[in-house]
Structure 1
Amino acid sequence: MSALGVQDVLAAIESGLSDWRKLAQPLVARFRSADAVSAAEFAAAVTREAAAFRYEIPDIRLGPGCVDVTLYTVHAESGRRQVTDEELDRARAISALAKEYGLRAVPGEVTQIELVLDAPSVAASGPFWAALLTGDPGNTPVLDTIFDPTNRVPSTWFQRTEIQSAPRQRWHVDLWLAPEAADGRIAAALAAGGTVFEDSHAPSYTVLADPDGNRVCVCTAFGRT
C-alpha cells in the first residue's frame, strides 16, 4: 500500500481515530488499564486481530497500568517506516477492542524519542552507529535513519551538516508528542529552568535549551506535509 501523507493521517484522526496520534513515522496509541490481566488480555486480542489479517506489526508494549500500541508498515524496497490505509484499519479495530476490554485511550500521553546526530556523511557514520546501537552493522540507515528492527532503542536520525571543526552540540533529542501535549510539556520545561532557543517553526517543532545550553526539539505532526 502507498504511504499516506501527514495531513491525510491527521484528517483520519480528526474524523474517527481520536485514540491515535501521528508521531515521527508511526501511528501510536496508549490505553490505560485497570489491572495487568485486562491489559494482557487486550494485548493478546490485538495480536490475534493483527494475525487474522496477516499484519506482522503492531508493536505492543505493556507497562504499569498501560498498553502502548505502535502501527507502521515497512516499505519492502526502501525499508522506510510509513503509515498506510492498513494502519488506519488496524487502528479502528484496536480501538474497538480497547472498549471491549475496558481500556481507556489517553492519546495525550503518547511519546516517541529520536536521537539526532549532525553528520556530514551518513554513509561514513551510519554503519558505526548501527553496529553499536542495534548490534548489527547490516542495519544501515534507511534514507537518513537507523531503525532497530525490534525497537529496543530509539531510532537515530542523521541531520546532514557541513564538516565543522569548532566544538558544538552534535547530538540532540527529538521528543515527539501528541499536539495537545506539546504546549504543556514546553511550559513545564521552561518552568524548570529551560529557555526557548527557536520557535519560528512551531507547532511543527520548538527548540528548547536547558540551563547549560543543550538543545532539544519538541516535535508534533502539525504543520507537516
Structure 2
Amino acid sequence: MTILSTQEILDAGLDDWRKLPQALHARFLTGDFTTGLAFVSGVGELAEAAGHHPDIALAYPHVDLTLVSHDASGVTGRDVDLARRISDLAGRRGISADPAAPTVVELALDTADPTAIGPFWAALLTGDAHAVAGDDVVDPTGRVPLLWFQHTGAHETPRQRFHLDVWVPHDAAEARIAAAVAAGGTVVDDAAAPSFTVLADAEGNRACVCTTLDR
C-alpha cells in the first residue's frame, strides 16, 4: 500500500476528517449514548465489509474515530475509502462531525543520549523497557501519549527538557494559538508555521502547536 501525502489527503475532500501525526481522525456528534452505540455498530459493519478497522472511542455525546494502515505505517487509499463510507453513514443518520475537535498530544524530551534514557522512560510509561522504536517510546495499547527524544547537545545547567507537541487540524491551528495567547501565552517562534509554532506560558514553559502542513 502506498502512503498518501498530506496534500493527497487534502485533495481527497474528506470534510469530516483531519490528518494528525500518523492517522486520520474524526469526531462525530451523536448527542447521546444510544445513537452513538448504533453508529458504532454501523461503522463496525462497514469495517468488516472493507476488511479494515478503525480505532473507536464511544462517549456519551460523541464518537471518535482513528484510521491508519498499520502495515504501511501511514494513511493509504483504503483509509480514505473507509473514511468516506463512514461519513456517508453519518450523513444518512443525520450525525454531524466536528472537524476542529481532533487533538493528539505528544511529549518531547531533550537529550544528548536517547539510548541512555530510553529504556527508563519506556519502563516507566509502558512497563516494558524494550518499548523503544528509534527515538520514540511507543505504547502499542494506546494508554499513554507518544514520547519522542529531541536530539540536543550535552548540557549541565538545569532547564526545561520536556515540551508538549499539541497536534491539531491544519485549519484549527490559528484559533488554538489565538486562544492560548488570549489566555496569557506568547508566540516565541512562528518561523516554521504552519508546520509548528512555539508558544510559552507566563513563566516561559514552552509547547508547540503542530499541523501536518509543510512537512
**How far off is 1:17 after superposition?**
0.8
Cα deviations by residue, 1:6-57 (Å, 9 ceiling, x for unpaired): 2222222xxx2111111111111111012111111111221232223322x4
Aligned to 2:41: 44
Counting aligned pairs with the same residue, the percent is: 50
Aligned to 2:56: 60
Aligned to 2:156: 165
The answer to whether 1:135 aligns with 2:135 is: no
**How far off is 1:119 after superposition?**
2.0
> Structure 2-normalised TM-score?
0.93
- Supply the distance in 2 between the matched residues of 1:74 and 1:144 (Cα, whole angstroms): 19
- Supply the distance in 1 between the matched residues of 2:45 and 2:121 (Cα, whole angstroms): 35
Aligned to 2:211: 220
The answer to whether 1:73 aligns with 2:77 is: no
Match of 1:119 among 95, 111, 114: 111
Kept in 2, the 8 Å contact 1:38–1:101? The answer is no
Aligned to 2:102: 110
- Supply the distance in 1 between the matched residues of 2:135 and 2:15 (Cα, whole angstroms): 30
Kept in 1, the 8 Å contact 2:50–2:82? The answer is no
Aligned to 2:200: 209
Aligned to 1:154: 145
- Supply the distance in 2 between the matched residues of 1:71 and 1:204 (Cα, whole angstroms): 21
SS at match of 2:15: coil
**How far off is 1:167 after superposition?**
1.4
The answer to whether 1:199 aligns with 2:190 is: yes
> What residue ranges of structure 2 are gaps of 5+ in the alignment?
none
**How far off is 1:90 after superposition?**
1.4
Kept in 1, the 8 Å contact 2:36–2:60? The answer is no
The answer to whether 1:184 aligns with 2:175 is: yes
- Supply the distance in 2 between the matched residues of 1:64 and 1:116 (Cα, whole angstroms): 32
SS at match of 2:199: strand
Divergent runs of 4+, >4 A: none
Cα deviations by residue, 1:190-225 (Å, 9 ceiling, x for unpaired): 11111111111111111000001000000112222x
Worse-superposed segment, 173-182 or 122-131:
122-131
Worse-superposed segment, 109-118 or 145-154:
145-154
Q: In structure 2, give the amino acid aligned to 1:51.
A: E
> Structure 1-normalised TM-score?
0.89
Aligned to 2:22: 25
SS at match of 1:109: coil
